Amino acid sequence: MARRRQTVVGVMTTPPKFGDGLSARDIPNLQRYDAAANQYDPDYRLTPLTIDINISITDPDEPLSLIDGRDHLTNVQWYEIGADGSRTPIVIDGGSSTPGYGAADAWSLQVMKNAAPGEPIRLLMKGVVVYKSDRFEIERTINVSCEDSTPSVRCQFDLPGVMPYNPIHDGADLPVKLIVYENNTPAVKGHYIPVWETQRDNGGWTEYGLPASDPDYEPTDYWMDVAADKCSAVIHQDLMAEGVKIRVRLKYSREGNPGAVILADGDLSMAHCSLEVVRDLGGWRYRVLDIPDSIRGFKEIRARMIFSDVKGDIADAEKYFTNRWYAGPASRNLTESDAIGDGMTALIAVSKAGNSELAIETDPKEREPLKAWADSDGTVITDADGSIILI
């Protein structure tokens, strides 16, 4: 008797493959903000940003076609993600839509507000794709970012912040150059006007070199010459007394109208730089010469003083130092009444010793720097040729 046998052959199926993502349409989801001009590029308030949902389905049963998964997309919901991770639903329903958002079409979100520099708008899209018997849940995010493109304006001098001036060895004139940068490249000269200022004796800062007709005119502004383009100056160090503090503040306009910029007193929010020049004779020393070990046989002694520093003996030391000589009996302390003269040399009578040994003292000091001769109103007095008279 023949027996019947049955074989079951199964049908192998390969599930479809899904691909998805979010992308910006037409314009980028990255803005640039210029705070100086208060402008966004692009400005989503004027040209909304469209965020597209992209879904593709590859079906092995239809190998020659790529299926647009958006036709099978349901339950779409958009959210704005807060800095703390919270999710705020975005409502798109005509007049009751969430401010700053809208719908471009059934599958896209329009962003109609701008991001803040460094604070991106984080968007989340959730949805479900149902294709044949398969169900695919989607959860994707995209950022709308903004970069700060405000021109970075800065200025600096071509010298260190503090410059010592040693009149013994340094030249009297110190050239200084102002360098201005926009975003680390040399700035366009038409974009800025330097304002040179100096610190006054009362600690306040005012503009340097104003004309005599200006109510803030300072007659003592004779120690620096600022170039016509205000981008350089020459400091006459021999006229600055003990030292000066200089500051430059920039009137800046990227649109090329710096003259319209008003600088408030003490406002350092704009680009600025400073320089201090200090008179400093450095480390100096002195020695007294030509004084014998014993005064026996002498009626007078001609003594002299030599000043020196790290570079050796100082020529014309009387230009930089003063000295007062004292002589008297060694049995007591010398006083001002024992002063016998000033200068680098002294002729000392041995009789100053009385019945004691002879004591000789010196009192060397740095000479006060020269200053312009001025009257009680501060007006600088000049000679017939208009040159400043120094005293």
Is this model's pTM higher than 0.85 or not? no
The residue to which tokens 């009297």 are assigned: 172
For residue 381, what are the contacts with CB-CB under 8 A and spacing of at least 6?
372, 373, 374, 375, 389
pLDDT digits (tens, 9 = 90+) for 303-359: 999 999 999 999 999 999 999 999 999 999 999 999 999 999 999 999 998 888 899
Complete domains list, the chain, with CATH: 17-148 (2.60.40.10), 153-279 (2.60.40.10), 285-366 (no CATH)
- CB contact at 8 A, 48 and 102: yes
pLDDT digits (tens, 9 = 90+) for 198-223: 999 889 999 999 988 888 888 788 89
User: How far is the C-alpha of 391 from the C-alpha of 369, rounded, in Å?
Assistant: 9
pLDDT digits (tens, 9 = 90+) for 43-95: 999 999 999 988 888 887 776 677 887 888 888 899 999 999 999 999 887 66
Whether pLDDT at 289 is above 90: yes
User: How far is the C-alpha of 7 from the C-alpha of 13, rounded, in Å?
Assistant: 19
pLDDT digits (tens, 9 = 90+) for 94-128: 666 789 998 877 778 999 999 999 999 999 999 88
User: How far is the C-alpha of 99 from the C-alpha of 113, rounded, in Å?
Assistant: 8
What the block records as the tokens of 177 is 């150059």
pLDDT at 158: 95
Q: For the chain, first and last CA: distance in Å?
A: 144
User: Model confidence at 378, in pLDDT bands (50, 70, 90)?
Assistant: low
The residue to which tokens 């980028």 are assigned: 28
For residue 194, which of 216, 173, 179, 184 has the smallest C-alpha distance? 179
- CB contact at 8 A, 247 and 197: yes
pLDDT digits (tens, 9 = 90+) for 238-252: 989 899 999 999 999
The residue to which tokens 């708008």 are assigned: 121
